[in-house]
C-alpha cells in the first residue's frame, strides 16, 4: 500500500492470532541456500520481505512455492553465488546469504544490503569474524567478494549483533572444523534459526546463549514452523494500550515479550497471560511507566521502542527513552510531533511529556517500526490521519488493514 487513512479516537477491541516472525523467517530462508533438498516452512507471514527473499533465492537457482502460510523451498545442486543486487538492496537480511553461500560453495558475491535507515548499519562485525575464520573478503563496486571455506576456530563478537551471529551460524555449517562464537546475540529468532538448522542435521550447541558451538555435519531438507512475531505482538499491544482498548493475542510466546509486558503493566494496563496468549485491558489514559531503555535481548527490544513511544504520547507524566542499539532510531519523532506529541530529543535521549489529546495529521512513514508508531499514534488521535509511503508497513506487517479493521479501527489503504 502507498497511503493509509486512519480515523482515530476509537478503542481497539477483539482477538488476533500473531503471525510468524519476520526476523525469524528471513534468516531461515537465507539458510535454505545452504541446504540441499526440500524445506517446508509453516506459519510464514504474508509480508513483502518474504516475497523479496523468495526472489533472491529463485535468482540463485532454488525454487519456491507458497500455499497459505506454507512456503516450500526446493534446494538446487549448485546455487549461484551472486544474488540480484536490486533485490538485495531492499532488505538488510540479504547479507545473510553470505554465510549460507560460503557454507555451500566456499564463495559469495553479495551486494551491500539495504533495510531500514536506522544509522550507519556497518558490516564490520560480520566481515571481521569471517576473516578470523580464514575467509578472504574484498569490497568492490558495492559488492562483498568472499572466497574460501571458513576454517574451524573461535571468534568473539565485540557486540552481540543479531545479523553477525546469524551469518556466522550459517557460514559455520560448511566450515572445515568446529566453530565457536563468543559474545553471540541471544534473540529468540536466533534460537529459531538454530532449531531449524538442527532439524536439517546441523550440530549446534548454546543457541540463545552468548556462546555458540557449531560442528559441521551433512545437511538435508526439513519442515519447520516459524516462531511467532514478538514485534508484531508488541505493536498490537501498544496499539490497544494507546486507544484504551482491550485485545487478546493468541499464538505467541509471552516470555519473549517480557520487558514490553512489564512496561505496559506499569503504565496501568491489566494483563492476563497463558502459555500462548496475552489479554490486555487498557485504562482510558495510561500512566508514564518509567524509563524505556533498549538493548540486546533480553533487554527491552529496540524494534518496540517506536511503538511504545507512540503508546505513551498521551500518558500522564513524562517518559524517558534511551535508544542504545541504533544511533538514529528516532526518525518517527517529527511525525509524532505533527500529531501534537511533546517530545524533546537530546544526546540520544527522547523525553516524552504526555498530552491530554492528539489530533489527526498528514504523515510520511520513514521506516518499518517508525511507520507502526505513526499508525498507533493516529489510532489514538482525534480525527483523520493520512500516512504516505505506507509501503514500509508491508515489509513487516501482513494484512495490516484487514487486521486493524477486525479490531474496530477505521482504516483504509490506497
Is residue 302 at the binding interface for ligand EPZ, with CB under 6 A as the rule?
yes
Among 53, 64, 161, 248, the residue binding ligand EPZ under the rule CB under 6 A is: 161
Footprint on residues 76-95 left by ligand EPZ (CB under 6 A): 92-93
Is residue 159 at the binding interface for ligand EPZ, with CB under 6 A as the rule?
yes
Contact between 247 and 65 under an 8 Å Cβ cutoff? The reply is no
Is residue 331 at the binding interface for ligand EPZ, with CB under 6 A as the rule?
no
Residue with Cβ nearer ligand EPZ (306 or 352): 306
As measured in angstroms, the least distance from the Cβ of 88 to ligand EPZ is 13
x/- site string to ligand EPZ, residues 345 to 374, per CB under 6 A?
Answer: -----------------------xx-----
Rounded Cα–Cα distance for residues 63 and 55 (Å): 9
As measured in angstroms, the least distance from the Cβ of 182 to ligand EPZ is 16
Among 12, 18, 26, 200, the residue binding ligand EPZ under the rule CB under 6 A is: 26
Closest C-alpha to 116, from 385, 360, 376, 393: 393
Closest C-alpha to 188, from 221, 245, 234: 234
Residue with Cβ nearer ligand EPZ (163 or 183): 163
As measured in angstroms, the least distance from the Cβ of 101 to ligand EPZ is 18
CB atoms closer than 10 angstroms to residue 15:
12
Q: In 251-286, which positions are buried (b, 16+ CB within 10 angstroms) versus exposed (e)? A: ebbbebbebbbebbeebbbeeeeeeebbbbbbeeeb
CB atoms closer than 10 angstroms to residue 299:
12
x/- site string to ligand EPZ, residues 99 to 138, per CB under 6 A?
Answer: -----------------x--xxxxxxxx------------
x/- site string to ligand EPZ, residues 202 to 231, per CB under 6 A?
Answer: -----------------------------x
For residue 117, what is its C-alpha cell? 535507515
As measured in angstroms, the least distance from the Cβ of 9 to ligand EPZ is 27
Question: Interface with ligand EPZ by CB under 6 A: which range of 12-20, 158-166, 213-221, 356-364?
Answer: 158-166
Residue nearest to ligand EPZ according to CB distances in the complex: 163
Total residues contacting ligand EPZ (rule CB under 6 A)? Answer: 27
Strand pairing category for 153-156 and 179-182: parallel
Length of the chain: 414
Q: Write out the catalytic residue numbers.
A: 116
DSSP assignment of 293-305? EB-STTSB-GGGH
Residue with Cβ nearer ligand EPZ (341 or 373): 373
Rounded Cα–Cα distance for residues 177 and 31 (Å): 19
Question: Residue 116 to residues 20, 84, 102, 356: CA-CA distances in angstroms?
Answer: 20, 19, 25, 31
Amino acid at each position: 500500500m502507498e497511503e493509509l487513512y486512519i480515523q482515530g479516537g476509537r478503542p481497539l477491541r477483539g482477538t488476533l492470532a500473531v503471525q510468524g516472525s519476520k526476523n525469524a523467517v528471513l534468516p531461515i530462508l537465507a539458510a535454505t541456500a545452504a541446504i540441499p533438498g526440500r524445506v517446508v516452512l509453516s506459519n510464514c507471514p504474508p509480508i513483502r520481505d518474504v516475497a523479496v527473499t523468495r526472489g533472491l533465492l529463485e535468482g540463485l537457482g532454488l525454487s519456491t512455492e507458497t500455499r497459505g502460510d506454507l512456503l516450500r523451498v526446493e534446494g538446487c545442486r549448485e546455487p549461484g553465488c551472486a544474488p540480484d543486487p536490486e533485490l538485495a538492496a531492499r532488505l538488510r537480511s540479504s547479507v545473510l546469504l553470505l554465510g549460507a553461500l560460503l557454507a555451500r560453495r566456499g564463495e559469495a558475491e553479495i551486494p551491500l544490503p539495504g533495510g531500514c535507515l536506522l544509522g550507519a548499519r556497518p558490516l564490520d562485525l560480520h566481515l571481521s569474524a569471517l576473516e578470523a575464520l580464514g575467509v578472504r573478503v574484498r569490497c568492490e563496486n558495492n559488492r562483498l567478494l568472499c572466497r574460501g571455506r571458513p576454517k574451524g576456530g573461535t571468534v568473539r563478537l565485540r557486540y552481540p549483533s543479531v545479523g553477525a551471529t546469524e551469518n556466522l551460524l550459517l557460514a559455520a555449517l560448511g566450515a572445515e572444523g568446529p566453530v565457536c562464537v563468543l559474545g553471540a546475540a541471544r534473540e529468540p529468532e536466533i534460537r529459531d534459526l538454530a532449531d531449524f538448522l538442527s532439524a536439517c542435521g546441523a550440530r549446534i550447541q548454546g543457541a540463545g546463549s552468548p556462546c555458540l558451538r557449531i560442528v559441521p555435519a551433512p545437511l538435508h531438507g526439513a519442515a519447520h514452523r516459524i516462531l511467532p512475531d514478538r514485534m508484531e505482538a508488541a505493536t498490537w499491544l501498544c496499539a490497544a494500550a494507546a486507544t484504551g482498548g482491550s485485545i487478546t493475542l493468541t499464538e505467541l510466546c509471552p516470555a519473549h515479550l517480557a520487558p514490553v509486558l512489564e512496561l505496559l503493566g506499569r503504565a496501568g494496563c491489566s494483563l492476563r497471560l497463558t502459555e500462548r496468549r496475552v489479554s490486555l485491558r487498557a485504562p482510558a489514559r495510561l500512566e508514564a511507566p518509567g524509563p524505556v531503555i533498549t538493548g540486546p535481548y533480553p533487554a527491552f527490544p529496540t524494534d518496540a521502542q517506536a511503538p511504545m513511544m507512540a503508546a505513551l504520547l498521551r500518558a500522564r507524566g513524562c517518559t524517558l527513552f534511551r535508544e542504545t542499539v541504533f544511533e538514529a532510531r528516532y526518525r518517527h519523532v517529527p511525525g509524532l510531533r505533527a500529531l501534537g506529541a511533546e517530545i524533546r530529543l537530546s544526546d540520544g535521549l527522547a523525553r516524552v511529556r504526555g498530552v491530554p489529546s492528539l489530533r489527526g495529521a498528514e504523515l510520511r512513514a520513514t521506516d518499518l517500526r517508525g511507520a507502526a508508531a505513526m499508525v498507533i499514534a493516529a489510532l489514538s488521535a482525534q480525527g483523520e490521519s493520512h500516512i504516505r509511503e505506507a509501503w514500509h508497513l508491508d515489509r513487516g506487517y501482513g494484512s495490516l488493514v484487514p487486521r486493524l479493521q477486525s479490531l474496530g479501527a477505521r482504516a483504509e489503504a490506497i
